[in-house]
Chains A and B, each alone.
Chain A
Amino acid sequence: MTELPDSTERKMGLVIDLDTCVGCHACVISCKGWNTENYGAPLSDQNPYGGDPSGTFLNRVHSYEVQPEQGHAQLIHFPKSCLHCEDAPCVTVCPTGASYKRVEDGIVLVNEDHCIGCGLCAWSCPYGARELDLAEGVMKKCTLCVDRIYNENLPEVDRIPSCVRTCPAGARHFGDLGDPESDVSKLVAERGGMDLMPEMGTKPVNKYLPPRPKDQIEDQIDILAPLLAPVAEEPQGFMGWLDKALDKLPGGAN
């Protein structure tokens, strides 16, 4: 049934560090690769080598510019995938019971054999975490690499989601956010982890760590600058004569 569990034994999820993410899209590629070859229907592409390529992705990296009232604008890379919400609207709207939230670890999954591809779960998700695969006609979403994290055929170091394993910057963390003593929960507490669109009432499990404040740029940014020859404010010599001569021509000085 598509009734949400009252509570889950664990709340497995991701913590994404917006301070560390360099926007390399490696997580996007590794996600696409793993999830095309493993759990469920492959993530298809339409017209991949043509003029208008598009395809199914479970993880996409946006980039945003934040302009504070004072100071410099900051560029923030923003990976976005399913947040495995506690109050997941995508589960309750499903008419067939294909969408469900697991009691044991809180992962939101789609039973692709029962999915009719009506798309209503994607409509209900404010985050755009679900995409209908055009080749298979079923809904695809992040599985939190459920086929890796419990997979005893893999070396222990690989039993984490593909995106986390791949991230070269260490911007992605995986763990139990329901356990206040877990590393990810401590990280969230320490760095002030936040929810996306809290007003939607979805109670996302995944948290985002806000960018740390940037170093202040002082007036003098180069400590060697005072030791160097000053750049002439006023042109000297020939350039000075030329500057004055041009000023006298019709059109005048600027």
Chain B
Amino acid sequence: MHPAPSVIIFTTLSGLGFGLLFFLGLGQPAVTGSVAFVFYAIAFGLACGGLLASTFHLGHPERAWRAFTQWKTSWLSREGVCAVGALAVMGLYALGAIFMDSHWTLLGWIGAALSLATVFTTSMIYTQLKAIPRWNMELTPVMFLSFSLAGGALLAGAEAVAPWLLAIAGAVQLAYWAKGDKALVASGTNLGTATGLGDRGSVRAFEPPHTGSNYLLREFVHLVGRKHAQKLRMIAFVLGFALPLLLILTPVQGIVIKHVFAALAVLSHLAGVATSRWLFFAQAEHVVGLYYGKR
């Protein structure tokens, strides 16, 4: 799949933003006043910035409101509904925390649940696609959720759970890569089943339909960059999980240095998740590539 910057930015930032909103909704940290304003500004900035980025790749963004109508069947529509619901509920909750010095617990829990639901629906947009075996796995939503929770815990300064969530997210990442590498073969789809000619002999793409490129090849067949996949996986794993874990577990003296270490951990995690998300798209093989003798 073509790793479009809009979807990489969207899934990375909004995952982190909704992860932070989840913890804020649970009252972790139970901040009020101007400190709460900073926390909610970061959370809403990430979540809304991500959502805005996702509209950049639309052919007709002015019709985007229609995307809220098909929640009965479409995960993309469900994501829109959940995102708006989460932002509205957490917006109210934030008003209470910032201006009225109060935490409306039930509202916070609903907002937290909707925030996680948003991340889950995002992941299901990809998971549902049988045509992309590397995405069509149970581990895909597990990966999105574990990343979001780990990032949210880091940003929320939830010291008790952040190391555990980071370790889990890192383990899920490794498992996703291991299983994903076998997904296309395990799907049973090959040029033989694609053409229906497989039982007659070995099928080879002899001549493409056109001498030039086309939408399908540009959108679904991304070969450039895959050659560095192993190196990028190392970078994603170290930046996303290993280094942040090290940074938050290092015992340091003084509040300033502690905050610097926490900020570095967040930035490192963000860079790592963005790299992982780039690989998520760049390495995903759409079966339509088989028709062109590519993958």
Residues of the A chain whose Cβ atoms lie less than 8 Å from the Cβ of B24: none
A68 touches B200 (CB 8 A): yes
- With A89-B131, A92-B74, A120-B125 as given contacts, are A78 and B60 in contact (CB-CB < 8 Å)? no
B61 touches A64 (CB 8 A): no
Tell me the bound Cα distance from A117 to B57 in angstroms.
Answer: 8
A116 touches B201 (CB 8 A): no
Report the minimum CB–CB distance from A191 to chain B (whole Å): 12
A1 touches B193 (CB 8 A): no
One of A74, A96, A123 near B69 (C-beta < 8 A): A96
- CB of A103 within 8 Å of the partner chain: no
Tell me the bound Cα distance from A47 to B68 in angstroms.
Answer: 36
A54 touches B131 (CB 8 A): no
Report the minimum CB–CB distance from B83 to chain A (whole Å): 12
- With A57-B214, A127-B288 as given contacts, are A96 and B70 in contact (CB-CB < 8 Å)? yes
Q: Interface size class for chain A?
A: 35 or more
Residues of the A chain whose Cβ atoms lie less than 8 Å from the Cβ of B63: 96, 114-116
Residues of the A chain whose Cβ atoms lie less than 8 Å from the Cβ of B188: 199
Instruction: Give me 19 A-to-B residue pairs in the complex whose CB atoms sit less than 8 angstroms apart, sorted by A's number.
Output: A1-B72, A1-B73, A2-B72, A54-B215, A56-B215, A57-B209, A64-B204, A66-B201, A95-B74, A96-B77, A117-B58, A126-B131, A128-B288, A136-B59, A194-B196, A196-B196, A200-B189, A210-B197, A210-B200
A interface residues with partner B (beta carbon < 8 Å): 1-3, 18, 25, 28, 52-57, 60-69, 73-76, 78, 80, 89, 91-98, 114-120, 122-128, 131-132, 134, 136-139, 194-201, 208, 210-211
B interface residues with partner A (beta carbon < 8 Å): 1, 57-61, 63-64, 66-70, 72-77, 80, 125, 128-132, 187-189, 191, 193-197, 200-210, 212-216, 219-220, 286-288, 291-292
